[in-house]
Structure 1
Amino acid sequence: MNERILVVDDEKELADLVEVYLKNDGYTVYKCYNGMDALKCIETVELHLAILDIMLPDIDGLRICQKIREKFCFPVIMLTAKVEDGDKIMGLSIADDYITKPFNPLEMTARVKAQLRQYMRYSQPHNERSEYDIRGMTISKNSHKCILYGKEIQLTPTEFSILWYLSENQGKVVSTEELFEAVWGEKYLDNNNTVMAHIGRLREKMQERAKNPKFIKTVWGVGYTIEK
């Protein structure tokens, strides 16, 4: 499949550079230098991933990401020159990854590949079970939605993938290493806090109590589980 990627950045030289690297890897690139053009592209092109600069001259990247989440579930990678932890947490609460400028283009393409592997894997139709109903939480692979007590929770594709994998393995303790490699499709490295950070955001969205969560429980020193 020839995946289609949207690149949005008002720094034309940077956007052009990202485009060159992505095209070299065989992707079709749609490039925009402002938010309005990006929104038009999102509505007219069937995209597989978006790379958004946070600081744009008209509509900021976070707002564009919010608009994407209203209709689509493809992954979003945020680009920003900001390095404060608050900005990073805010970006990742609605996006799937976060890259701080300046960055290595090869690292950027590696992250793109990882996000697309994950997205395509969970978007393809399968014959396996497509829905789980666990104590008031319904998660559907076909619709890519999670309904908690009758209300939909807005999850990023990464958050959905984590919750789906734990639901598939309900009753089993899934190690941090297994969860990372299943969702991100990469080798797990020691001292990687990525899974913990995403689990924390999932619990916030599910309004889970940190000390006694109903759904995603921590098994200290091992990993996570959704109990039967």
Structure 2
Amino acid sequence: MSQRILIVEDETDLAQILAEYLQRDGFVATTIADGLAAMAELRRAPPELLLLDLMLPGMDGISILRELRKTSDLPVIMVTARTEEIDRLLGLELGADDYVCKPYSPREVVARVKTVLRRTQGAANVVASSTPHRSALEIDADAQQARFAGKNLELTPKEFRLLQTLAGKPGRVFSRSQLLDALYEDNLEVSERAIDSHLKNLRKKLAPAFPDEEPIRSIYGVGFAFEW
């Protein structure tokens, strides 16, 4: 049975385009332009995932998300043009699973939908057959060694700790500052840009294990997340 995606967006042309892209990928997409109507629909027939615009008539997206989180762990991707709200949207206070900034590519949104669903129970059917088996990646904290499909990944201590931090909480967004704290426990004065160098090297070493995807996602202005 196709998974249902509820798109709450008051720009009707944009919502319709997004719905069409989702339908091409086998989803059932429903659009609603009003926040209060969306809240009623969520109570009546919860979808598998909610695409929720921040600015809405009737009831804004943050209010909808706050109300929803009182009773539900429904996956939510927020859509926003207000980048200053991103930290709140992804924080524990509100608990969005991901966000997309306007203007966006509909293809990018579909990819984000698949990624979030892949992280939730019962969403295995949206994982493409080319996606590596997630259990093939092993992280041995005692031996300080990472393996993929039984083969050692030749990582430096810093690269291993970086992978351990990101992959230990898949989907969570880490800022450069948080990653620095994980890598340099002695509080050395290290530039946040040092993380970029470690990430570049780690991505190269992970590339053979993930030939069809980039497991470490860069989130502009926020940080990085490991998605597997």
Q: TM-score, normalized by length of structure 2? A: 0.57
Equivalent pair of 1:176/1:195 in contact (CA under 8 Å): no
| Off by >2 Å, runs of 4+ in structure 1 | 120-123, 169-184, 197-200, 218-222
What residue in structure 2 maps to residue 135 of structure 1?
Answer: none
Which secondary structure state, in structure 1, belongs to the residue aligned with residue 50 of structure 2?
A: strand
Equivalent pair of 1:180/1:195 in contact (CA under 8 Å): no
The alpha-carbon deviation at position 175 of structure 1 amounts to 4.3
Equivalent pair of 2:22/2:110 in contact (CA under 8 Å): yes
For the residues of structure 1 that align with 2:58 and 2:78, how far apart are their CA atoms?
Answer: 16
Which secondary structure state, in structure 2, belongs to the residue aligned with residue 31 of structure 1?
A: strand
Paired residue type of 2:66: Q
What residue in structure 1 maps to residue 113 of structure 2?
Answer: 112
For the residues of structure 1 that align with 2:48 and 2:176, how far apart are their CA atoms?
Answer: 21
Which deviations, in whole Å up to 9, do the C-alpha atoms of 1:41-77 show, x marking residues without a partner? 1111132110111001111101111122111112111
Q: Does 1:196 find its partner at 2:174?
A: yes
What residue in structure 1 maps to residue 4 of structure 2?
Answer: 4
Equivalent pair of 1:74/1:119 in contact (CA under 8 Å): no
Map 1:28-43 onto structure 2 (within 5 A).
28-43=28-43
> Percent of counterpart pairs with the same letter?
33
Task: Indicate the structure (1 or 2) with the bigger Cα radius of gyration.
Answer: 2
User: Which residues of structure 2 form unaligned runs of 5+?
Assistant: 125-138, 145-159, 185-197, 200-228
Q: Does the C-alpha gap of structure 1 residues 96 and 176 become closer, same or farther in structure 2, counting only changes over 3 Å?
A: farther
Q: Does 1:177 find its partner at 2:155?
A: no
Q: Does 1:72 find its partner at 2:50?
A: no
The alpha-carbon deviation at position 219 of structure 1 amounts to 4.8
The alpha-carbon deviation at position 195 of structure 1 amounts to 3.9
The alpha-carbon deviation at position 4 of structure 1 amounts to 1.4
For the residues of structure 1 that align with 2:42 and 2:57, how far apart are their CA atoms?
Answer: 18
Which secondary structure state, in structure 2, belongs to the residue aligned with residue 57 of structure 1?
A: coil
Equivalent pair of 2:117/2:123 in contact (CA under 8 Å): no
Q: Which moved more, 1:89-98 or 1:15-24?
A: 89-98
Map 1:1-228 onto structure 2 (within 5 A).
1-84=1-84, 87-93=85-91, 94-120=95-121, 175-177=161-163, 179-180=166-167, 183-184=170-171, 195-197=173-175, 218-220=182-184
Which secondary structure state, in structure 1, belongs to the residue aligned with residue 51 of structure 2?
A: strand
For the residues of structure 1 that align with 2:41 and 2:176, how far apart are their CA atoms?
Answer: 29
The alpha-carbon deviation at position 180 of structure 1 amounts to 3.9
The alpha-carbon deviation at position 171 of structure 1 amounts to 6.5
The alpha-carbon deviation at position 79 of structure 1 amounts to 0.8
Paired residue type of 2:87: I
Q: Does the C-alpha gap of structure 1 residues 199 and 3 become closer, same or farther in structure 2, counting only changes over 3 Å?
A: farther
Q: Does the C-alpha gap of structure 1 residues 55 and 118 become closer, same or farther in structure 2, counting only changes over 3 Å?
A: same
For the residues of structure 2 that align with 1:180 and 1:122, how far apart are their CA atoms?
Answer: 19
Q: TM-score, normalized by length of structure 1? A: 0.57
